[in-house]
Amino acid sequence: MTILNKDVLIECGPYLDWCYRDKPLVPIDLWPSYNEYEKDIFFYMSIELLECLCHLTNQHSPFDPYDLINLTDSKSLKNLFDKFKEWVNIIESLSKEEIIKKTKYSFFFERTTNTSADEIRRDLLDTLKFIIEKLNTAINNGHTITIVGI
């Protein structure tokens, strides 16, 4: 399983910090300092990954990548959960040719491994399913997913 985080997509930043928290992140100042949420980060999402997912699905981002977002209630968590499940279905249905065409100028072709359409699809799906799992856990436990934008 390959999760496309900043350890894999090393030079594809900036990154959105995804946090799993018991309560919403309320910054001390206008924008939270890294120290306020660092321990809660479960995923660093490259802006290039988000752009690639949007391009593959022909959809806009379901959240503002330039904002601080606290998904605290089950409805907002479920909305993002449902959107990412929809993206999984779309990506699963794409032909190999469509995947290659739509990722041709993305970070995948800068990587030295995982450049076949099947590997690209697998990595994207593994990543989306990882996030979906965290969203589901937050829904079930009444917790918050916070996205600290760029």
Q: Rounded to two decimals, what is the model's pTM? A: 0.91
Closest by CA to 139, choosing from 58, 73, 85, 82, is: 73
Q: What is the DSSP string of 41-79?
A: EEEEEEHHHHHHHHHHHT---SS-TTSEEEE-SHHHHHH
How many other C-beta atoms lie within 10 A of the C-beta of residue 23?
10
pLDDT tens digits for 128-149? 999 999 999 999 999 999 999 9
Give the helix, strand, coil percentages of the chain, each rounded to 5.
50, 15, 35
pLDDT of residue 112: 43
**Per-block mean pLDDT, blocks of 10 residues, the chain (150 long):** 85 92 88 93 95 94 96 96 98 93 69 69 95 98 96
Calpha distance 66→88 (Å, rounded): 24
Please state whether 71 falls in left (phi above 0), alpha (psi between -120 and 50) or beta. beta
Calpha distance 5→15 (Å, rounded): 9
Calpha distance 88→78 (Å, rounded): 15
